[in-house]
């Protein structure tokens, strides 16, 4: 175990400014990780992702195990070489995806599911997930946990928690037995129940990981419950280790979580929204397919320095979406990714000068023009 | 009229090395123009197109008049600003597309057609095409001509030729009446009939244009007939003006045409093939979706310096096509575009040292391994 995190500053509001020191590059935190589900941020080259300011990306174990297969990626020299991304990569454990499948059988051994419809059953377990992530060669691997739906009864959450603790211990053991430079983060589950979250956090911290994640969120619980989960969990995590809130979220979610001491985020929202034509601006979201943009000569966001905003007007994006040229989704993705990176840049600067609360209020106030824009 | 072309060298084999000196940039010839039909090379940013080495791109008048409309592009500051491409742009006249429509009515006035199914009839004429291209603000506009199918009877070709001559004269007049810095190229038609091609060339040259194109090719006539058309037409064109073979073609077509004195090309083949998973290499074409590439750690073409070849292996491209990530088509397009630009770079170097014939033989011999690769 090697702690990659260094806490640099804490803001009066509670936000943390830190650094992840990884062999493939240092990443300033709070940080947002673009999601390259299938070893690609859809339609965006690795160089373009890098240009948005991203220092670390996430790739999905489940999807890559399906296609092209983790063993194949290993033989090709690992995920970094495969996808042409030389910076750090975090892989999830595959748990979240497996538990989203309609047909699955869960036992203490692991989760059995159909890889393909009608195909031979496959299994994902702490050991198998660990092996796959080692084959992929990610810089940070995640422990294998049971992911619960929302809402979820307290009895079910409590029972699941015991299994998650057993599984994470096995993840820890499988990872340790292998050795190597890959880091392993533990995950705190416990649904929406504060005492379960606290108990899980203490047990996971006692096991000891290179960083700690809060999982089982972004499943429909909403900002209020999310904030409460973070608020009760984060204080249980060691100050000197990285804290990662999985699968979150919208800009307002990120701000609420940063304030409560979160350092790392990943989410498909910027890219998924982009492909659907929804673009983030400091004044709120816009739907680029709306006909009012067909004559608009301004950039998506006049304050943005992304490749799209510095080269083409909104009317061009509108045109590309109208004629369904894939370049539209690419430029929109680049813009939204840059928007998220700029948001984190502003957040980091604010924390450094102890002004996070003021920045948060400013950003949220600016975004209130969202509603007006969206109509 | 201002001749942008300067002939630098002629190779013993007949190939010409020249330069197009345009206000937005000088373009060494022979040159290949990527096609940005709807003001975008599908899925590829203008910056990425530039990185492949392209100095000038083509955009389609017909498509842009349909969507978003030439007037709108004009109000947005012209096509260059709209699509974020600062280099020279050539626009076609829209004739080729209009004549491909199933329902159209041709009279001396122009061509009447349905813009949308069941929509109000629209008309394209020499004057209207000239106006649209002026609104787009391209650097080089093309005269409006009648495009014939292949095969085409001699009688029909002869009759059409008279109309084309009348239309091109009107294009010339409309263009001259407007003034401005935009250049206008004339087009030689005449189907596959040498005496019609020669007659058309002489008449068009007598009218006087800033450059001369050979049109009505790439309609299924094949390399042999294409070569014959170029061979009989090119000698009728003035040595000191640029010669542009429209819509051609495969690498072997380009080589045959360069040898016969052609300076400019455009074609959708590199990008269309790329999107379909067919990649050009010096050793011939490969189908990246073939399962033999699923474990292939080599770049698409080991001799290529494109963004795809220098960052990811064939197995990654294969994976992207398998999971249908649009990044696959983007990287494939970048590669094929770079392949065409490298081909033209090699051609230009060979002409400079008087070695075109040797290069042509070498390239064609290398490509013979195509067949083997493709199977």
**Tokens describing residue A145:** 């946990």
Q: Which chain A residues are closer than 8 Å to B80 by Cβ?
A: none
Domain B5-266 in CATH 3.20.20.105? The answer is yes
Q: Could you tell me if B292 lies within 8 Å of chain A, comparing CB atoms?
A: no
pLDDT band at residue A227 using 50, 70 and 90 as cut-offs: very high
Average pLDDT over residues A270-292: 97
Q: Do A67 and B307 touch (CB under 8 A)?
A: no
Look up A11 and say whether it is catalytic.
no
Q: Is A272 on the interface with B (CB under 8 A)?
A: no
pLDDT category at A1 given cuts 50, 70, 90 is low
Query: Over 80: is that where the pLDDT of A173 sits?
Result: yes
Which pLDDT does position B375 carry in this prediction? 40
To probe the interface with B, which of A79, A299, A325, A333 has the most B CB atoms within 10 Å? Answer: A325
Average pLDDT of the residues in A281-298: 97
Contacts with A63 from chain B: Cβ below 8 Å: 323
A2, pLDDT greater than 50 = yes
Contact B39 A81 (CB under 8 A): no
Task: Point out the residues of chain B with pLDDT beneath 70.
Answer: 1, 117, 369-375
Question: pLDDT tens-digit profile of A332-358?
Answer: 999 999 999 999 999 999 999 999 999
Q: Which listed residue (B92, B210, B253, B263) is catalytic?
A: B92
- Active-site choice (A92, A145, A253, A263): A92
Chain B hits for A45, CB-CB cut-off 8 Å, are 307, 311, 327, 330-331
Residue B1's pLDDT is 65
Quick check: A295 contacting B, CB < 8 Å? yes
pLDDT at A368: 78
Question: Distance from A313 to chain B by nearest Cα, in Å?
Answer: 7
Report the alpha-carbon distance of residue B325 to residue B304 in Å, rounded: 23
| A297 CB within 8 Å of a chain B CB | yes
| pLDDT in the model for residue A371 | 47
* DSSP code at position A337: H
Residue-averaged pLDDT of chain A: 95
Residues 6+ apart with CB under 8 A from B176: none
**Cα A3 to Cα A54, A74, A201, A239, distances in angstroms:** 21, 25, 17, 12
CATH topology of domain A5-267: TIM Barrel (3.20.20)
Q: Which residue has the tokens 């696959």?
A: B328
**Pairing mode of beta strands B264-266, B31-33:** parallel
Widest distance between CA atoms in chain B? 61
- Interface touch B82/A313, C-beta < 8 Å: yes
Q: Mention every residue, 6+ apart, whose C-beta is less than 8 A from residue A6.
A: A18, A19, A21, A240
Model pLDDT, residue B372: 45
pTM: 0.97
Tens digits of residue pLDDT in A257-266: 999 999 999 9
CA distance B40 to chain A (A): 8
Cβ(B41)–Cβ(B57) below 8 Å:
yes
Instruction: Say if residue A53's pLDDT is above 90.
Output: yes
Mean pLDDT computed over A50-79: 97
The 3-state secondary structure of B243-295 reads EEECCCCCHHHHHHHHHCCCCEEECCHHHHHHHCCEEEECCEEEECCCHHHCC
Helices (H) and strands (E) in chain B, counts: 15, 17
* pLDDT value for B10: 97
Q: Which residue has the higher pLDDT, A238 or A120?
A: A238
What is the separation of C-alpha B364 from the centre of its chain, rounded to a whole number of angstroms? Answer: 21
Q: B330, A330: Cβ pair inside 8 Å?
A: yes
Specify the pLDDT at position B115.
72
Q: Distance (Å, rounded) from C-alpha A288 to C-alpha A67?
A: 33
What is residue B85's predicted lDDT score, i.e. its pLDDT?
Answer: 98
Which residue among A315, A320, A322 places its CB closest to the CB of B76?
Answer: A315
Query: Cβ contact (<8 Å) for B44 and A327?
Result: yes
Pairing mode, if any, of strands B104-107 and A25-29? unpaired
Are the Cβ atoms of A42 and B327 closer than 8 angstroms? yes
Question: Is B92 among the residues known to form the active site?
Answer: yes
Show residues of chain B in contact with A331, CB under 8 Å: 45
pLDDT over 70 (residue A122): yes
Strand partners, A121: A114
Domain layout of chain B by residue ranges: 5-266, 274-374
- At how many degrees (to 10) do helices A251-259 and A356-367 cross? 160
Pairwise CA distance, residues B340 & B31, whole Å: 9
Å between A292 CA and nearest CA of chain B: 13
A326 touches chain B (CB under 8 A): yes
Q: What pLDDT, on a 0 to 100 scale, did the predictor assign at position A234?
A: 98
CA distance A54 to chain B (A): 18
> Using CA atoms, how far apart are residues B189 and B168, in angstroms rounded to an integer?
11
pLDDT band at A295, cuts 50/70/90?
very high
* pLDDT value at A168 more than 50: yes
Model pLDDT, residue A373: 52
First and final C-alpha spacing in chain A: 51
Report, as an integer, the average pLDDT of A28-42. 98
Does the distance separating the beta carbons of A312 and B82 come in below 8 Å? yes
**What was the pLDDT predicted at B102?**
86
């Amino acid at each position: 175990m090697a702690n990659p995190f260094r806490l640099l500053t804490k803001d009066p509001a509670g936000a943390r400014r830190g650094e992840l020191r990884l062999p493939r590059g240092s990443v300033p935190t709070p940080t947002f990780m673009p999601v390259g589900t299938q070893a690609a941020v859809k339609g965006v080259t690795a160089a373009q992702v890098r240009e948005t300011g991203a220092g670390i990306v996430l790739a999905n174990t489940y999807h890559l195990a399906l296609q092209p297969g983790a063993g194949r990626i290993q033989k090709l020299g690992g995920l970094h070489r495969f996808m042409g991304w030389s910076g750090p990569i975090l892989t999830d454990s595959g748990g979240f995806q497996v538990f989203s499948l309609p047909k699955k059988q869960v036992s203490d051994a692991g989760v059995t599911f159909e890889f393909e419809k009608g195909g031979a059953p496959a299994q994902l377990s702490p050991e198998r997930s660990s092996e796959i992530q080692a084959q992929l060669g990610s810089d940070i691997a995640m422990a294998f946990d049971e992911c619960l739906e929302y809402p979820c009864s307290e009895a079910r959450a409590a029972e699941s928690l015991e299994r998650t603790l057993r599984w994470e211990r096995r993840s820890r053991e499988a990872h340790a037995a292998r050795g190597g430079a890959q880091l392993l983060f533990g995950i705190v589950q416990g649904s929406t129940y504060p005492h379960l979250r606290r108990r899980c956090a203490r047990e996971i911290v006692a096991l000891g990981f290179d960083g700690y994640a809060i999982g089982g969120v972004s499943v429909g619980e909403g900002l209020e419950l999310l904030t409460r989960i973070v608020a009760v969990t984060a204080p249980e995590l060691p100050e000197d280790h990285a804290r990662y809130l999985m699968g979150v979220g919208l800009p307002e979610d990120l701000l609420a979580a940063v304030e409560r001491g979160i350092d790392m985020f990943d989410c498909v929202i910027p890219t998924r929204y982009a492909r659907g034509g929804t673009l983030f601006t400091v004044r709120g979201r816009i739907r680029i397919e709306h006909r009012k943009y067909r004559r608009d000569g301004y950039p998506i966001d006049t304050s943005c320095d992304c490749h799209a905003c510095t080269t083409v007007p909104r009317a061009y994006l509108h045109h590309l979406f109208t004629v369904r040229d894939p370049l539209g989704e690419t430029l929109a993705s680049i813009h939204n990714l840059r928007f998220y990176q700029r948001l984190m840049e502003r957040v980091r600067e604010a924390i450094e000068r102890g002004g996070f609360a003021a920045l948060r209020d400013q950003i949220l106030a600016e975004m209130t023009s969202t509603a007006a824009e969206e109509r």
